[in-house]
Structures are given as C-alpha cells and as structure tokens.
Amino acid sequence: MNTTKIILITGASSGIGEATARHLAAQGHQVFLGARRTDRLEKLAEEIRSTGGLVEYRTLDVTNFEDTQAFADFALEKFGRIDVLINNAGVMPLSPLHELKINEWNQMIDVNIRGVLHGIAAVLPDMQSRKSGHIINISSIGGFQVWPTCAVYSGTKFAVRAISEGLRLENKDVRVTIISPGVVESELAHTITDPGTRSMIEDFRAVALKPEAIARGITYAIDQPADVDVNEIIIRPTSGAQ
C-alpha cells in the first residue's frame, strides 16, 4: 500500500466520481469531493466515514473558475498539499447537429473543457512548486472516434486528450493521466433531451461497465511509483462493440 495521498475528485456525487471516491478511500487515501449536489456528497461522505474512510466535501461548480480555485484552496488549507486531482465532472447531452441545441453544446464546452482547464489552473501552481503531483483527466472513447449525435461531445473529449498531452509535455515533475472509458453505467445519458438519441443510447448501454471498473483503472495509475507516469488508459466492456 502506497502512502496516503490527498486526492481531489470533481463530479463526485454519482457514477465514476462516486465509485472512485469509495474505492480510493477504501485504499486508505484521503478524498476531497466536489460537486453541485451537496446533499449527495453529504450522504456519500457519511457512508465512507462509516467504514473508516477519510473524506471531506465541498460544493463545486467546475464551470466557475473562482469556485474551482476556492475548492483547491480549501484543500490546501486543510491538508497542506494536493497530491492528485481527478477532473471527472462531465455532461453528455447528445443530439444531431441539425437539432441546433446550442445551449447544450455550450454546456458541454463549459463543463467538459473549461471545467478541466479550471481544475488544472487551480492545482498546477502548487504541484509545480512542490515538484510533485498527478492530474487525471477523464476523457472517453468519444475522444478517439465520432458517431452520429456525438459531434460536440466527441469534440470536447478530443480536446481533453489534447490538453492533457500538452500538460504532460510541459511538466516533467507532474504526472498526467488520461482515462478514456467506454460505455459505463452513469447518469450521463440522463442529460440527453433528443428522443431519438436517447433511445439509441439506451440500446448502446446494454453492455455498460460498472463505474467501479473505471475506479480500479484510476487507482492503478495513482498507485504507480513517482517515476512512472501511466499516460493513458482505455477501458471498454469486453462484450462491447465500441
């Protein structure tokens, strides 16, 4: 077991974020959780503490940089350092481009791209000054391939991969990992408002992974020695075509 690490997780109120919080806390790490739904964070924190885990939480809107900076600053004040940031918050309101759901496009850009950049900006100065740290960005298989209805979503996930690679190349002392899940049981599809797309995705998700599978992949990257940077992991269902 590695030394306990201070690990920040965005989008921690459900899905991959929630599963990762539980898994890392069970491994003995101190997790600091952020999301907009504070009631869910409170319940999750209570459950983690009931099993002996170390957890704190704070409301967080990753689309707001000041809020994200306050989230990181709170962690620094309480724990003295940030070892790992997991940029997990994301939305996926898929639709064909001709539906012109511009507000949903902007929401994906704000959460999936700006949210990642805000997280990086909030923790990178401390990590650089300590010459130590790990930033894990959750992308998607949508960052490798585009399907009908996925143009904007895939665009945001291609961007996450590009940003992550640039960050890695610029920082010799900060580890950077991209986690790209295939279809996973989560609330992402709940944001789809286009009826045809919602029906298609329900069929696509018939072989979805449990979010705990992604949590184990994230933990693998974190638990490597300091001189080992797992740059990218793709995790798909064995029986899935995509």
Asked whether residue 161 is assigned to any structural domain, the reply reads yes
Which residues does residue 134 pair with via DSSP β-bridges, in sequence order? 84, 175
Is residue 242 included in any domain, yes or no? no
Neighbouring C-alpha atoms within 13 Å toward the C-beta of 90: 29
For residue 236, what are its two tokens? Answer: 């798909």
Q: What angle do CA 186, 211, 132 make, to 5 degrees?
A: 115
Is 153 among the residues known to form the active site? yes
Q: Let me know if residue 137 belongs to a domain.
A: yes
Count CA atoms within 13 Å of residue 58 on its CB side.
Answer: 17
Whether residue 229 is contained in a domain is answered as yes
CA–CA separation, 71 vs 38, rounded Å?
13
53: left (phi over 0), alpha (psi -120 to 50) or beta: beta
The active-site residue out of 57, 71, 105, 153 is 153
- Residue 215 resides in a domain: yes
CA distance 237 to 193: 25
Q: Which residues contact 166 (CB under 8 A, 6 or more apart)?
A: none
CB atoms within 10 A of CB 172: 8
How many Å apart are CA 106 and CA 108, to the nearest integer?
5
The CATH number assigned to the domain holding 25 equals 3.40.50.720
The pLDDT of residue 1 is: 43
List Cβ neighbours of 72 (8 Å cut-off, separation of 6 or more).
8, 82, 85, 119, 122, 123, 126
Q: Is residue 12 in a domain?
A: yes
Pair 76, 53: CB distance under 8 Å = no
pLDDT of residue 184: 86
Phi and psi at 31, nearest 5°, equal: -105, 140
Mean pLDDT per block of 10 residues along the chain (242 residues) reads 86 96 97 96 97 96 98 97 97 95 98 98 97 98 95 98 98 97 73 63 69 97 96 90 57
Residue 68, in any domain of the structure = yes
Distances (CA, A) of 146 to 50, 137, 233: 42, 19, 19
Q: Quickly count: other Cβ atoms within 10 Å of residue 98's Cβ.
A: 6
Looking at the domain assignment, is residue 29 inside a domain? yes
Residue 208: its pLDDT value, please? 83
Per-residue pLDDT, 239: 78
What does the alpha-carbon distance between residue 207 and residue 203 come to, in Å, rounded to a whole number?
Answer: 9
Number of domains comprising the chain? 1
Which residue range forms the structural domain that includes residue 117?
A: 6-235
